[in-house]
Amino acid sequence: MSVSRVLRPASRLLSASRPTTALRPAFRPAASLPSIVSSRSYAQPAGTKEMTVREALNEAMAEEMEANPKVFVLGEEVAQYNGAYKVTKGLLDRFGEKRVIDSPITESGFAGLTVGAALAGLVPICEFMTFNFAMQAIDQIINSAAKTHYMSGGIQPCPVVFRGPNGFAAGVAAQHSQDYTAWYGSVPGLKVVSPYSSEDAKGLLKAAIRDPNPVIVLENELLYGLQFPMSEEAQSSDFVIPFGKAKIERPGKDLTMVTLSRCVGQCLVAAEQLKKNHGVETEVINLRSIKPMDVEAIVKSVKKTGHMMVVESGFPSFGVGAEIMALTCEYAFDYLDAPPVRVTGAEVPTPYAQKLEEMSFPTEQLITDYAAKLLRV
């Protein structure tokens, strides 16, 4: 084997030809996601109701604010305007201006203020209009929130929640459309979760608010308006989802698809196509929690399927996909029948032009084609 061959990405070994570029637009979620949502074979017992991700997040905050007077929300436009994406709708009327606070436009200032309030014993929810803008406050998140508990010798816990939309959006170019999961996932002291469905959103955000550590909740703008079924259990104010436990969104025996956030929906569509076109049974794992990560669920699934593919929307280098492939190789190498592969965002600042933007992120067609190639079907 020549050196150049060795240095090539493992995925190239699968095939010499490139997978066909998807023709479906990536950013018309209404056209793709609800179909799979409605076609999923959820058991729908009495008492289940439909709820958007936005409503679920709102309900999570309202319930926790009701239960704990120390919880408050702060961010740009979260009060009077009900939030840039209306996630905090109605909270000002319900909890008053001392607990739902509009901030001046200074991310480092209000993120720092919430860190200080957490160090002083409150439980702040810091909303970033998007995580793109949290870059202004990254020092407060990494050097203050994540490290103070450890560096103070455990004197000062910092139970702050940073939340807001993350990942690829539509038509807003490079500075408003990128995925920061890998950034936060690499920092000890932080916990990082990324909900997909309404149940995820409510259960994870409530767990985040109750957690004594700083937690990053990476939501997705394009998921806010989507409806998902909420079980009776999830409608309860006691409902929380434990961190570090992934969810099998769809069981399968031929291929493990590990994914998170909005890509879960895309993977479910791809899994359906793979079943229809090739009779392949794909197991779709929704990570829910990035840090801690449920490696056990991945290993267990790979033992069954022998094939692993990560689908995520971050940049490929040093990303979530890279980490999951590495973990799979470390803990499940002997069960793999082929090298693990990843489908990620492209290594470019997100372009504005629609056609270019479409080519910069995973699409359902791309995921389907790449999976078929991996399985040689």
Which of 14, 34, 77, 116 binds another protein (CB under 8 A)? It is: 116
The total number of residues shown for the chain amounts to 377
Name the one range near another protein by CB under 8 A: 155-163, 164-172, 176-184, 217-225. Answer: 155-163
Which of 53, 111, 241, 287 binds another protein (CB under 8 A)? It is: 111
Q: Name the residue among 175, 151, 150, 180 with its Cα closest to residue 290.
A: 180
Which sign, positive or negative, has the C-alpha torsion 290, 160, 242, 240? Answer: negative
The residue among 14 and 67 lying less far from another protein, judged by its C-beta, is 67
CB count, 10 Å around CB of 204?
28
The residue among 35 and 136 lying less far from another protein, judged by its C-beta, is 136
The residue among 69 and 251 lying less far from another protein, judged by its C-beta, is 69
Which of 25, 34, 157, 225 binds another protein (CB under 8 A)? It is: 157
CB of 192 to another protein, least distance (A): 12
Pick out residues in 317-336 that bind another protein (CB under 8 A): none
Cα–Cα distance, 275 to 254 (Å, whole number): 10
Contact pattern for another protein over residues 183 through 212, marking x by CB under 8 A: -----xx-x-------------------xx
What residues pair up with 282 in beta bridges, in sequence order?
A: 255
Asked whether position 101 contacts another protein by CB under 8 A, the answer is yes
Pick out residues in 212-231 that bind another protein (CB under 8 A): 212-213
SS3 assignment, position 199:
helix
The region that residue 151 occupies, defined by phi over 0 for left and psi between -120 and 50 for alpha, beta otherwise, is alpha
Which tokens hold the place of 224? Answer: 């806010």
Asked whether position 156 contacts another protein by CB under 8 A, the answer is yes
Which of 124, 165, 167, 321 binds another protein (CB under 8 A)? It is: 124
Asked whether position 162 contacts another protein by CB under 8 A, the answer is no
Which of 43, 120, 334, 376 binds another protein (CB under 8 A)? It is: 120
Pick out residues in 22-51 that bind another protein (CB under 8 A): none
**Contact (CB, 8 A) for 319 and 290:** no
Q: Name the residue among 366, 206, 371 with its Cα closest to residue 278.
A: 371
The residue among 140 and 305 lying less far from another protein, judged by its C-beta, is 140
Which tokens hold the place of 320? Answer: 């979530």
Which of 4, 155, 238, 279 binds another protein (CB under 8 A)? It is: 155
Verify whether residue 149 is a known catalytic residue: no
Tell me phi and psi for residue 185, to 5 degrees: -65, -15
**Contact (CB, 8 A) for 110 and 104:** yes
Which of 72, 85, 239, 361 binds another protein (CB under 8 A)? It is: 72
DSSP conformation letters of 252-310: -SSEEEEE-THHHHHHHHHHHHHHHHH---EEEEE--EEETT-HHHHHHHHHHHS-EEE
Strands 247-250 and 282-286 turn out to be antiparallel
Asked whether position 237 contacts another protein by CB under 8 A, the answer is no
101, containing H or E segment? strand 100-102
Asked whether position 122 contacts another protein by CB under 8 A, the answer is yes
Cα–Cα distance, 32 to 266 (Å, whole number): 8
Verify whether residue 176 is a known catalytic residue: yes
Residue of 107, 219, 312, 358 with catalytic role = 107
Pick out residues in 288-307 that bind another protein (CB under 8 A): 292
Residue of 55, 59, 76, 176 with catalytic role = 176
Q: Specify the DSSP class assigned to residue 226.
A: -
Name the one range near another protein by CB under 8 A: 77-85, 98-106, 249-257, 311-319. Answer: 98-106
Residues interacting with another protein, by CB under 8 A? 69, 72, 98, 101, 103-104, 106-122, 124, 136, 139-140, 143-144, 148-157, 188-189, 191, 211-213, 292
